[in-house]
Copies of this chain bind each other. A is one copy, B any other.
Amino acid sequence: MEENSNKLTDINELGEFGLIKLISKNIKLKNKSSVLGIGDDSAIIDNSKLQTIVSTDMLVEGVHFDLSYFPLKHLGYKSIISSISDIYSMNAECNQVTVSIAISNRFKVESIQDLYSGINLACKNYGVDLVGGDTTSSNKGIVISITAIGSAKKEKIVKRSGAKNNDLIVLTGNLGKAYLGLQVLEREKQVFLVNQNSKPDLSTYTKLIESQLKPEARKDVILFLDQNNIIPSSMIDISDGLSSELIHLCSSSKVGCQIYEEKFNFDESFLSTCKEFNLEPSTIFLSGGEDYELLFTINQDSYELIKDNDYFNVIGHITENLDLELNGKDSKKTIINSMGWKSF
């Protein structure tokens, strides 16, 4: 970017309306429910007989992301993923998003185009229409606010609050990778600050860094559940870490749980990087955030439907007793505390 700085365009040259025009130029609405998109006071959505699901997220530079190692295109992609994941965790389809940004004049028009190229790519990959937003200036840094809008049949919607005694606790994918990816990127940033010529070989960490910079949401899981007529009794997405989400889910459902450390799956690069950073794998698995995997509960009768599927990993079960306990590999029990990521 720096090399081309003499060719870059000031935001002031375009103004707010010029910027909106540029952003919305190539946007075509694809979902039948998207009746009207960008260009009026509001968007119009027709969800017919389905219920409408709405979720909103705010991402702040210096709090949620560091642009020194987070490319704007990836930031745009991840912003969408993090928002639509909240819709999937209700067992709903995501059809629309609105994106608002506040951006300081240190950024050029080309930077905003990079950001939107990531936003548009995520929208394309997940079949979501960008139907509105707001574009304004900030005194410092970037703030992104995304509202994701979905739809679902009333009887298919899954809340956090439906977990019942003896339900199985199911996890999609492995956890902690995005957190470890962040540790690698933070370390390299420190190295770079000392030696700006450093060209680190990060190939060992590709998967971990990708989990941090280009995560995916589990639309595939929602489709699988639908195709196999499985309706979880409760569900939540793992943005703040497994322990934190287990606490939310159990507290909303007024139940407790037993989970088993031996059920945690670690892959090789995860284990070797934990060792390198002197981190305890199970702690990172429990506490690392931003994986956007799903955590859900199902009645034991549904076990047959999921047991042979690589998507799913049964890590424990729900109890009437309100305690949340981790059963360690050493057979010791630990009370689960929230160690999830918090922005305050």
Contact = CB atoms under 8 A, between A and B. Distances in A.
A56 B15 contact: no
Given A42-B90, A43-B55, A138 B36 contact: no
A96 B344 CA distance: 27
Nearest to A15: B344
Given A11-B344, A150-B42, A136 B86 contact: no
Interface stretch (A22-30, A140-148, A318-326): A140-148
Given A44-B54, A45-B52, A46-B51, 11 more contacts: A14-B344, A39-B252, A41-B55, A42-B148, A43-B55, A49-B49, A52-B149, A56-B133, A57-B100, A58-B136, A134-B145
Contacts of A45: 51-54
A252 B38 CA distance: 12
B160 A40 contact: yes
Given A63-B136, A102-B63, A90 B40 contact: yes
A56 B87 contact: no
A86 B41 contact: yes
A44 B344 contact: no
Contacts of A42: 53-55, 86-87, 89-90, 92, 148, 150
A302 interface: no
A159 B252 contact: no
Contact of A100 (B39, B90, B145): B145
A145 B53 contact: no
A62 interface: yes
A16 interface: yes
A157 B52 contact: no
Contacts of A54: 42-45, 96, 98, 131-132, 147, 149
A114 to B, nearest CB: 18
A58 B58 CA distance: 11
Interface residues of A, number: 71
Contact of A64 (B53, B136, B160): B136
A154 to B, nearest CB: 7
Given A53-B43, A90-B40, A147-B56, A140 B140 contact: yes
A160 B344 contact: no
A12 interface: yes
Nearest to A133: B56
A48 B45 CA distance: 12
A265 interface: no
A220 to B, nearest CB: 18
A141 B62 CA distance: 13
A133 to B, nearest CB: 6
Contacts of A48: 49
A236 interface: yes
A309 interface: no
Given A344-B12, A344-B15, A44 B90 contact: yes
6 contacts: A16-B343, A41-B90, A45-B51, A54-B131, A56-B145, A100-B145
Among A49, A54, A59, A161, the one with the most B-chain Cβ atoms within 10 Å of its Cβ is A54
